[in-house]
Structure 1
Amino acid sequence: MIAPAPGAPASGAQAPLSSSAAAAFCAIDFGTSNSAVALPAGAGIRLVQLEPGHDTMPTAVFYEAELGSSEGGSDRDGAKFGRAAIAAYIEGHEGRLMRSMKSVLGSSLVEDTTAVGDRAYRYIDIISHYLRHLKQRADRDAGAPLARVVLGRPVHFVDDDAQRDARAQQALESAARAVGFAEVGFQFEPIAAAFDHESRIDREELVLVADIGGGTSDFSLVRLSPARRTQLDRSADILANHGVHIAGTDFDFRVELEAIVRELGFKAIGPGGREVPSKTYFELATWHLINTLYAPLRMAEVASLKSFYAEPVHHARLMRVLHRHLGHALIGLAERAKIDVATGGETRIDLSLIEPELAVRFSAARLAQCIESDVQRVVATGLETVRRAGLAPEAVDAIYFTGGSTGLAVLAEAIAAPFTRARSVYGEKFASVATGLGIHAARLYA
């Protein structure tokens, strides 16, 4: 069941608005992996620069174990946000990194607490803390406090449970009000993402919105038309929705295993004909597990495996990576290689940070091979979305691609292949949802 009327302002007591505050609004794409904020700009919408040179910011908060200063991306409570939060974690600062906070909405965790040093934070307060940071950036950019907001929401915070889904939206609304928004509206993220496309069509279309981000691949079959574009409640235009937890970080994982850590002994055969133990390599390619490898006991464990290696250089390289804390840098190299070959061709992965002159070649063909099973699962999810609407692939008029991973030609082409009548339309990878929410906010608060 889809939540009713997300386009209307959310219910609840509202503080009186001054005339200037009533005219001020923004839109927030509070994403699982990244977030963005949109403001009105004349007759259009623009994005707020949340960090120097960046219109989007990782949805991440890092709480120092000891209260820090307000410099370097921190606030007075010792919290860092976005890229500063991730950098603090990678650099090994003592504290707690919180990511994917959106996923706790609708779960019993939302009111639970997590400990950081001698302090405890409720998860809902962590969400509020992050939203407050976004609002402060937007207020500063707008030159005035912003009293109204439209927030994006997934079609389902919680599958097959309307009450929990409604509670999730209420929790997000409460967090927005707690940071100073007096009026809160919602719009479905896939509808918002497709607003740009809807503004360009002259007839009704069935559009499969493919939002392929860092952690999930989400599909929504939506009805778009010139006659519907000004309607605030678009819940009836979402015909089906489905998703799978496969996306950009999974592809990076595959690339690192295929092209990088083989130079450290992954899949190598040892002296007794046994394959070198793979656990360390899987952890080295998994973002949130890398820091665990730097613990003294784990380092000693990996060092003790030297006899398993027929090529001592492989073990030496692996230990060098751990001693120098290069794990996250390797994931960055895997992601860069994926991007470099995304539309075809070949790249050279420079591994001189491990060993002078060490490098490997990586091609689009190898990328396609190593992510093939993941791609097929994503394709099946898109097809299942249309099937859930009781329709055949031939009924789809267009596929609208958004999200950071849609630049992978092998993925986009595979998704589009079964939809023989549909044309492929590409939105802004990182800005489609935020911009669409801004368009909706302008209609809602005009």
Structure 2
Amino acid sequence: MTLAACGVDFGTSNSTIGCRRPGQPLLLPLEDGRPTLPSVVFFNADDNTVSFGRAALADYLEGHEGRLMRSLKSLLGSGLMDGYTEVNGRALRFRELLEQFLRELKRRGEHATGSRFEHAVFGRPVHFVDDDEAADRLAEDTLREIGHAAGFRDIHFQYEPIAAAFAYEAGITREELVLVADIGGGTSDFSLVRLGPGRSGPDRREDILATAGVHVGGTDFDKYLSLSSAMPMLGYRSVMANGNEVPSSYYFNLATWHTINLAYTRKVWTELQDVRRDAREPDKIERLLRLVSQRDGHWLAMKMEEGKIALSQADESLLPLERLSPDTALRLQRPVFEQAVGELVDSVAGAVAALLQRSGIARDKVDTLYFTGGSSGVPLLRARIRALLPAARAVEGDLFGSIGAGLALDAGRRFS
């Protein structure tokens, strides 16, 4: 195998790997000919195998016994990173889990090209951790260590919105001042960048006018859609005989991808028996118990993601929830969703406003607002960002591939 440099977009929801090849697409086919590999691992207890991506989701939904892990990137910068989880009766370090996924991503990329990837540019959010520089550096260092363990010898990092800017730049013919809005699964990241066909050198520091990021992304929107619309069906905010609300921790864990498995412990099961006995609406707690006993928390989280996507296209959507009961369906309404995520949108819009103020650039001088990231289609969020730059032309990039393509271009320049 020949040596080659690659760009690695290890995403909260989806991952890509790419490299420059004459006359070939930058992004490599990773699963069923597609350039994205969902960041999912399933440990199948029935036959003691491990599957990744769409195959992992299919194995889980088919009802195989085992452990599904998703939103792996969210572990970086969290207190869970140095911990363990139980997988099919053994303790698995979360670092080892991320290493397994990155090693598989690398293997698939190398298989697609016949090259060996030792040099890589990894994407990273502007902030792994908000308002904590030491924790942010630790998260990057941790990802570098895991990348080395997965087989990448030389790793550089690039901000994800800068990588998306490089992908956009490859298709323009004149100089532009561009605000890149990258709304991913775990973070929202922004960069104000001067781009143009004559600015494609390896050192672009002078072209980067400002960056900003906030730890809010698509999985947060899924979470609050779940809490506002689905979890009340399971007893969220219902009350006990003593007038107190049912503890909210059960519902927050079930609504958050990387904590769903915490709802499946024996301790929680015992506590929920007591909750059902004392609940004023025991039928809702019974529904919760059924969901937990069947380990359908991940299925419900996927349904919430499906509902969020539907509300990006329509004001209402009827979401079947057949695993709760055959005739159960949830009517989702965009106004309810927008009210639930209002504070999240405020946080993201505030980060953009602060970036623009910090840059010292007049807002009417920004030529283009470039949207990328799978969650940039949320209408309220997009409208709030566009309102900050009413004179800019709005452009939508490849929502799932712009960052990976830009990282591949950056890798080609750095290691050429």
Question: Scaled by the length of structure 1, what TM-score is found?
Answer: 0.77
Equivalence for 1:103: 76
CA distance in 1, matches of 2:147, 2:193: 27
CA distance in 2, matches of 1:326, 1:428: 32
8 Å contact kept, 2:120–2:155: yes
Superposed CA deviations along residues 272-330 of structure 1, whole A, max 9, x for unmatched, are: 76544433323322223332222233222212223544444323222222222222211
CA distance in 2, matches of 1:262, 1:385: 37
Superposed CA deviations along residues 199-230 of structure 1, whole A, max 9, x for unmatched, are: 343443222211111111112222212221x2
Equivalence for 1:376: 346
2:175 counterpart (197, 200, 204): 204
Q: Structure 1 residues 132, 276: CA separation in 2 closer, same or farther (over 3 Å shift)?
A: closer
Question: Does 2:254 align with 1:284?
Answer: yes
CA distance in 2, matches of 1:292, 1:153: 27
Offset of residue 39 of structure 1: 3.4
Q: Structure 1 residues 101, 349: CA separation in 2 closer, same or farther (over 3 Å shift)?
A: closer
1:421 counterpart (391, 397, 410): 391
SS in 2 for 1:47: coil
8 Å contact kept, 2:118–2:153: yes
CA distance in 1, matches of 2:281, 2:94: 49
Q: Structure 1 residues 351, 363: CA separation in 2 closer, same or farther (over 3 Å shift)?
A: same
Q: 1:151-170 alignment to 2 at 5 Å?
A: 151-155=122-126
Counterpart of 1:220 in structure 2: which amino acid? Answer: S
Q: Structure 1 residues 182, 266: CA separation in 2 closer, same or farther (over 3 Å shift)?
A: closer
SS in 2 for 1:145: strand
Q: 1:24-423 alignment to 2 at 5 Å?
A: 24-52=4-32, 54-59=34-39, 71-73=49-51, 81-82=52-53, 93=66, 99-100=72-73, 103=76, 123=95, 129-146=100-117, 148-155=119-126, 187-228=158-199, 230-268=200-238, 275-423=245-393
SS in 2 for 1:430: coil
Counterpart of 1:409 in structure 2: which amino acid? Answer: P
Offset of residue 45 of structure 1: 2.5
Offset of residue 183 of structure 1: 5.9
Q: Structure 1 residues 39, 325: CA separation in 2 closer, same or farther (over 3 Å shift)?
A: same
Structure of larger gyration radius: 1
Counterpart of 2:319 in structure 1: which amino acid? Answer: I
8 Å contact kept, 1:206–1:221: yes
CA distance in 1, matches of 2:316, 2:150: 48
8 Å contact kept, 1:62–1:98: no
Offset of residue 337 of structure 1: 0.8
SS in 1 for 2:330: strand
SS in 2 for 1:48: coil
8 Å contact kept, 1:45–1:439: no
Counterpart of 1:214 in structure 2: which amino acid? Answer: G
Superposed CA deviations along residues 93-125 of structure 1, whole A, max 9, x for unmatched, are: 479989227835xx9999x685878778694x7
CA distance in 2, matches of 1:307, 1:169: 47
Equivalence for 1:76: none
Task: Give the stretch that moved more between structures: 94-103 or 352-361.
Answer: 94-103
CA distance in 1, matches of 2:338, 2:79: 39
Q: Structure 1 residues 240, 198: CA separation in 2 closer, same or farther (over 3 Å shift)?
A: same
8 Å contact kept, 2:74–2:186: no
Superposed CA deviations along residues 226-279 of structure 1, whole A, max 9, x for unmatched, are: 221x21111222222222121111111111122212222333456676544433
Equivalence for 1:17: none
SS in 1 for 2:19: strand
Offset of residue 378 of structure 1: 1.0
Q: Structure 1 residues 303, 26: CA separation in 2 closer, same or farther (over 3 Å shift)?
A: same
SS in 2 for 1:28: strand
Offset of residue 433 of structure 1: 0.8
Give unmatched runs, 5+ long, in structure 2.
none
Equivalence for 1:4: none
Counterpart of 1:100 in structure 2: which amino acid? Answer: K
CA distance in 1, matches of 2:398, 2:404: 10
SS in 2 for 1:138: helix
Provide the aligned length of Structure 1 versus Structure 2.
411
Offset of residue 338 of structure 1: 0.8
| Percent pairwise identity | 39
CA distance in 1, matches of 2:12, 2:76: 7
Task: Give the stretch that moved more between structures: 337-346 or 37-46.
Answer: 37-46
Counterpart of 1:218 in structure 2: which amino acid? Answer: D
CA distance in 1, matches of 2:316, 2:245: 29
SS in 2 for 1:339: helix
Q: Structure 1 residues 322, 414: CA separation in 2 closer, same or farther (over 3 Å shift)?
A: same
CA distance in 2, matches of 1:415, 1:269: 39
Superposed CA deviations along residues 137-162 of structure 1, whole A, max 9, x for unmatched, are: 11211134345443334456688999
SS in 2 for 1:404: coil
